[in-house]
Amino acid sequence: MTVDPLRIIAFPGASNLPTFAAMERDSFRSFGVDVVSLELTSSSITQAERVAAGEFGIAFTAFDNVVAYSPDQGAAGDDVDPEYVVIMGATQLELSLVVDPSVDEHAQLMGRSIALDALGTGFVFVLYEMLERAGVDRSRCEFVPVGATPQRWQAVRAGIHAATLTIEPFTSLATTAGFRILDSSSCLFTSYQGGVVAARRTVLERPAAVRAFIDGYLDGLGWVLDPSNRPAVTDLLMSRMDIDPAAVRPVLNSVLSPESGLTPDARLLPDGVDTVLALDRGTAPTVLRRTSAASST
């Protein structure tokens, strides 16, 4: 069988498990595409720049990055257009506002710095919504672009910044280390389209390769979501990511839940897409509930 080479760039996180599984099970090649590399990005800006430069054909990214890095906008600059075309959903994604243990309420973030991926995306609009609904004047907070979740979490852990938004496994790593979850996207929205799989527009000119990639990913996803494979999935997670053993169970519980993690059949979530678009327009959807997401340390 002739195989078509394809390069992938993704954000670090447990949501990469289906891709790891498909690579280890040789699923992509069996369907006719050779995933020659999976590289992890340091930020949405770097990801957009490298996809725009033609270095990668497939990007696992947040749906809000697809919106934010459309032509003539985005933190990477007007001349950077990654030509993202969404081909699959990936995660519902629960975003957690992780804060320094000294922070007990949103108002205590005023006058302190909050680590972001980039100032115009990277879930920033979810953070703005959290602050607004808690009655916090965000103009009194300092927002600092730091990069992807690992860099942001490490910056908060080191005491450089007071808070950031995290996904798994970094949320569980933070709580295991004694940090607090002050708020969560699941406390605000019934659905939020977190991760998606986007192809560079020119890659769509290779429909056989795209179809083979989709089939390979779905094979890996089905294997990860099969309850009978939980021990092997645990081993895969621990072999691919540096995770505190105490955090493995909550990480998997979150990433394997359709309410906060991987989307069965890689479907897009229409209501979740609408939530992201509404936040980008500044017309946030109706609040789901306003309960405290703070957890004990």
Q: What would the 3-class secondary structure string for 204-247 be?
A: HHCHHHHHHHHHHHHHHHHHHHCHHHHHHHHHHHHHHCCCCHHH
Yes or no: say if 167 and 13 are a contact pair by the CB < 8 Å rule: yes
Task: Return the CATH number of the domain spanning residue range 4-93+193-265.
Answer: 3.40.190.10
CA–CA distance, 260 with 226 (Å, rounded to integer): 17
Higher per-residue pLDDT: 76 or 115 = 115
CA–CA distance, 106 with 128 (Å, rounded to integer): 11
Task: Render pLDDT for 121-159 as a digit per residue (tens, 0 to 9).
Answer: 758 889 999 999 999 999 999 999 998 899 999 999 999
The pLDDT of 201-226, averaged and rounded, is 95
What are the residue boundaries of the structural domains of the chain, listed by start? 4-93+193-265, 96-190
CA–CA distance, 33 with 206 (Å, rounded to integer): 11
Q: Which pLDDT does position 141 carry in this prediction?
A: 94
Higher per-residue pLDDT: 222 or 45 = 222
CATH topology of domain 96-190: D-Maltodextrin-Binding Protein; domain 2 (3.40.190)
Q: Whole-number mean pLDDT of the chain?
A: 87
Q: Which pLDDT does position 287 carry in this prediction?
A: 39
CA–CA distance, 261 with 56 (Å, rounded to integer): 25
The pLDDT of 4-27, averaged and rounded, is 92
**Class of residue 175 by CB neighbours under 10 A (exposed 0-12, middle 13-18, buried 19+):** buried
96-190: same fold as 4-93+193-265?
yes
Task: Render pLDDT for 170-185 as a digit per residue (tens, 0 to 9).
Answer: 898 899 999 999 999 8
Q: Which pLDDT does position 293 carry in this prediction?
A: 38
Yes or no: say if 47 and 39 are a contact pair by the CB < 8 Å rule: no
Q: Which pLDDT does position 295 carry in this prediction?
A: 37
Evaluate if residue 283 carries a pLDDT over 90: no
Evaluate if residue 297 carries a pLDDT over 50: no
